[in-house]
Each structure stands twice: as C-alpha cells, then as structure tokens.
Structure 1
C-alpha cells in the first residue's frame, strides 16, 4: 500500500474532494484524520472509510480559527506520533462571472482572503509536527484560473495564483526539514451527478445566465470541450493523484504543481 503507516490530516474532509482523498488515503493504508465544520458530512466520509476497514477519526474544526486548528494538529500528533501528510481541501464560496465594472472589492477579496488564510493557518499548524526523520508532505489545491486569461474570474484567478506561489515558496522553506510541498491543479472536478457537487453549486449561476443546465455548461460543448481530452477530471482521478504525490514514489517532487486540467492548460 502506498501510504502504509502514514498519518494524514485532511481539512475540508467532509467535502467532495476532501472526502474522496480521505477514502483513497485510507485504502492505501494511512491513518486518516478529517476536520471540517459540518459533522454530518464528516460522519458520512468516516462511515465509508470504516466500512472499508480503514482507520479514520473526525473533528469539527473551523479552519479560520487558528487556535482551534493548532490545538487539533497538536492533538493529532500526540495521538498518532506524527503528522506525515496534510491536505487543505476547504472550499470558499466566491463569485465567478462578474466583470470588473460590477465586481465589489469585498467579492473580489473573498476567495483571496479565504483560500490563502486557510492555507496559511493549516500549513503552519501541521508543519511543526512534520519532517526530520519522517518525511512530510503538504498538498495544496488550486485551479487553472491561475493561468487562464478569461474575463469574470478576477478574484478566483488571483487566489489560485496565490495558492500556487504559496506552495512554491513554502517548499523552499520546508525542504531543509524534510518536508515536500506539492500543488494539485485540477479543472472543474466532476462526478455523477455533477449538479450535486461543489462544482455544480459554483457553476449553477453561470449556467443559468447562459440558459443552460450545469451538465450542459460542463460537458455539452462547454468547459469540457476546451480541454485537450474533451472531458473534465473526476474526483477519483484527483484523489488517486493525491495518494501518489503523498507517497514515496513521488519523493523527488516538491515545489511544483501537478496539472490535472485534462489539457485546459498545457505547461
């Protein structure tokens, strides 16, 4: 198993991506700790993992509460002995589709402040318990908006670029402590049914404005057709990639971004 005897913390572990990664990490032998705001979502993921024989613990934690996040990380490290892997999969609701003339500064700053604040708080909390004799891995999530020249995504694009810059610089800082930092950049992540996912909720207003369903926007000649593969990445593909990047098989990878955009971006 790729992650046998590893201890992994996933913030936003009750969400679509966080939950999918938790299930794969547990399947690959990791002891998984998921944290998030909504108990019911955390419990649903934990039920799936436990049913498959995996090891998982849950905690209600507000990722924007630095003291609470640090206390949780301290408790995990005390219980497990170390934190070997961490992923921040927290989602921040934000606007997509509004152009500069109609965009408020508050809406522009919402994803920038939210995503980067959460990434800073969680990374700082776990890094103290990582590395040295046990290699550590911090995984981050961004989006193609970091490089796309598309109108209506100013805040989204700035936050995505900020997360990728954060990951690269943090990799340089933590490398001497035997900690890798690797970003994952999926496109709009889909799974059936797409309309029930965070992706579906995010793109619902854009689809409605275009007179389309979310499925039509994502698949029917829409976003999927803008990729080389003519499809969008799935939750399973993101989760399997995360497990590989967190494993020793990717031990030479740090300070870089794994492009899971299905060819929407070609690096």
Structure 2
C-alpha cells in the first residue's frame, strides 16, 4: 500500500474533504490522527476507518491555536515515533456575493487571516518535526479560486492564493531536509454541499473542459498520491483538480 507504515495527521478531519482524505489515507495503510474541534464527529470518521480495518486516533485540536497544534504534534511523535504526513482541510469564513467596492474591510480580511493562520501553524509544526527526522510530506489545501477571475468572492481567492504562496515558500526552506511541501487546488466539489441542484452549479460547470466538477474521491485519492513515494519528485507544486477550469 502506498502509505504503509506512515503516520498522518489530518486537521479538519470531520469535514467532507478532511473525512474523505482521512479514510483514503487509512485505506492506503497509514495510521491516521484525526484532529478537529468536535470529538463526536471525529469519532464517526474514526469508526468508519476502524470498521474497514484501518487505524485511527482522535484528538480535539483547534488548528487556529498554535500551542494546541504543537502539543498534538509532540503527542503524535511520542506515540507513533514519527509524523510523516500533514494535511490541513480546515474551513474558514468567507463572505461572498458582495462587490469588493462594497464589502467591509473586516469581512474581506477574515478568510485571508484565518487561512494564513491555520496553514502557517499546522505546516510549520509539521516542518519542524519532519526536518529533524529527515522526511515527510506537508499538503496544503487551496481551491481553484486562487487563479479564477470570477468576481464577488470577497477575500476567498486572496486567501487561497496565499496558501499557494506559502506552499512554494515553505517547500523552498525544507526541501533539502527531505521534506516535501505540495498543494491541492480542487474546484468546488459538489459532495461537500449535498442538495445543490444542477442548475445552481451550472455556472461553474460551464467553465470546465470536462463538463463536470471534481469528485470527492478524486481529491482524496490525489492526496494519497501526493503523500506517497510515487510523488517523490514533486515539491513546491500545486496540483490542479479544477476539471479544466484552470489551465496551467
């Protein structure tokens, strides 16, 4: 299995993307440490993993709290012996559908600050431990908004672009220490918001080359690939899963 013997931390593990990635990591052989704010929802994901024969541990961790993240990372290393994969799937507030000339400054800045804070905290916590052990993979989650010209996204697109800039910057600092930092850039994934009609998604679909939006399984399976030795030559790159809405 691609991640056999690896120890992976997933922040926001009870969310749609975090849960899918956690399950995929476990299926690939990793021991998964599920971190998030709500133990009950984390336990539901852990139960799914264990019932399928996988290994999962749950810890209440606020990924905006640096002390909590650092303490949890120490606990993972003490318990498992290493921290091999870090994936941040936490969400952040973003007011959209308001013109930039009309949006309040605090509403514009909220997603930028929240995204920068949580990714900086979790990625650097992992980087410190991974550089000491000489190996590891840090995966940051962006979205196609980072490169879209679509309007009225508030600060969301700037937040995502900042995550991608952090991916490149951190990759340059830790790559020579055996640590890879990579990013994921999915388009809107309908399974994260069940109940939306096809007509509600039509404006997103029409911009894609494939005539559809990404599936949750595709996002999760790509995260497994990025975390695995199969992607060993990738560093500082952001993998696009926009179904062709973004063409690099």
TM-score, normalised to structure 2, is: 0.96
- On the 8 A contact 1:195/1:214 being kept in 2, the answer is no
State yes or no: 1:67 paired with 2:67. Answer: yes
**What is the distance in 2 between the residues matched to 1:58 and 1:100?**
40
The aligned counterpart of 2:200 is 217
Q: Does the residue aligned with 2:190 lie in a helix, a strand or coil?
A: coil
1:115-154 CA distance string (max 9 Å, x none): 1100001112111221465521000111111111121014
**What is the distance in 2 between the residues matched to 1:104 and 1:214?**
30
The aligned counterpart of 1:256 is 237
TM-superposed CA distance for 1:45, in Å, is 0.5
- On the 8 A contact 1:186/1:260 being kept in 2, the answer is yes
Q: Which runs of 5+ in 2 are unaligned?
A: none
**What is the distance in 2 between the residues matched to 1:29 and 1:39?**
23
Q: Which runs of 5+ in 1 are unaligned?
A: 201-212
Superposition CA RMSD, Å: 1.3
**What is the distance in 2 between the residues matched to 1:177 and 1:75?**
22
TM-superposed CA distance for 1:30, in Å, is 0.2
**What is the distance in 2 between the residues matched to 1:95 and 1:71?**
32
Q: Does the residue aligned with 2:206 lie in a helix, a strand or coil?
A: helix
The aligned counterpart of 2:116 is 116
The aligned counterpart of 1:209 is none
TM-superposed CA distance for 1:214, in Å, is 4.8
State yes or no: 1:91 paired with 2:72. Answer: no
- On the 8 A contact 1:11/1:18 being kept in 2, the answer is yes
**What is the distance in 1 between the residues matched to 2:162 and 2:193?**
28
TM-score, normalised to structure 1, is: 0.90
State yes or no: 1:21 paired with 2:2. Answer: no
Q: How does 1:1-267 map to 2 (within 5 A)?
A: 1-131=1-131, 135-191=135-191, 195-196=193-194, 214-218=197-201, 221-267=202-248
- On the 8 A contact 2:107/2:154 being kept in 1, the answer is no
**What is the distance in 1 between the residues matched to 2:185 and 2:233?**
18
**What is the distance in 1 between the residues matched to 2:193 and 2:8?**
29
